[in-house]
Structure 1
Amino acid sequence: MDFKEYQELAKRTAAHHEQALTNYGLGVAGEAGEVVELIKKYAFHGHDLDKAALTKELGDLLWYISQIAEWANIEMEDVAEMNIKKLKKRYPHGFSPERSKLSI
């Protein structure tokens, strides 16, 4: 599935109301918190990494991000392409700790 198809299918389940952007923004924060909680349990509590739960929560996070983009009339493909261009410019030879210090 490509981003265009995902964004089209995802918007079918979005509620449209005056506070939609606020709802989506808060949703990003909430779902990011759930992702972080799974990572914390893995990293510090001795849990196995629950890949099924992580996949589900990343999907929920992607849904909210896609709806913010949809609200702003931004194609998810454009978001992805712009991000890759930025990363290529910042790290033309791949990630390096030295280069990361220069690009805050």
Structure 2
Amino acid sequence: MTFNTYQEEAKKTALYPEAYRLLYPTLGLVGEAGELANKVKKVLRDQGGTLTPEAREAILQELGDVLWYVAQVATDLGESLDAVAQANLAKLRSRQARGTLGGSGDHR
């Protein structure tokens, strides 16, 4: 499956008011990212860092939810996930070529 295929299929399940385009999926993305982080935290706290098959599956489920919201943000911005991914890789390659992968700041 491609990013664009996923995005098109995910869009069919997006049920939120037009008035909240961009806002709704952005807030959802933050919430789901928090749930993902919480699952990882519990692996550290409750399982001493040992990733059980059940914990792995739960983390992957949350990651899927994060992906859905990322797709909706891109959709609401009128952009394809393929284009977002390509632009991100171009940015990272540029940083790598200039030796600025590490560090901070958006424009390095």
More displaced stretch, 43-52 vs 6-15: 43-52
Residues 17-44 of structure 1, C-alpha deviations (whole Å, 9 max, x = no match): 1113221011001100011101111234
SS of the residue 2:97 aligns to: coil
Alignment length (residue pairs): 100
2:74 to 69, 72, 91: 69
Q: Tell me the amino acid that sits aligned with residue 30 of structure 1.
A: G
Q: How do 1:12-91 residues align onto structure 2 when only pairs under 5 Å count? A: 12-17=12-17, 18-45=19-46, 46=48, 48-49=50-51, 50-91=55-96
Moved >4 Å (runs of 4+): none
- What is the distance in 2 between the residues matched to 1:78 and 1:52? 29
Indicate conservation of the 8 Å contact 2:43/2:49, yes or no. yes
Q: Tell me the amino acid that sits aligned with residue 40 of structure 1.
A: K
- The alignment's C-alpha RMSD in Å is 2.0
Q: Tell me the amino acid that sits aligned with residue 27 of structure 1.
A: G
After TM superposition, the score normalised by the length of structure 1 is: 0.85
Query: Percent sequence identity over matched residues?
Result: 38
Match in the other structure for 2:4:
4
After TM superposition, the score normalised by the length of structure 2 is: 0.82
Unaligned runs of 5+ in 1: none
Q: Tell me the amino acid that sits aligned with residue 37 of structure 1.
A: N
Unaligned runs of 5+ in 2: none
1:16 CA displacement: 4.2
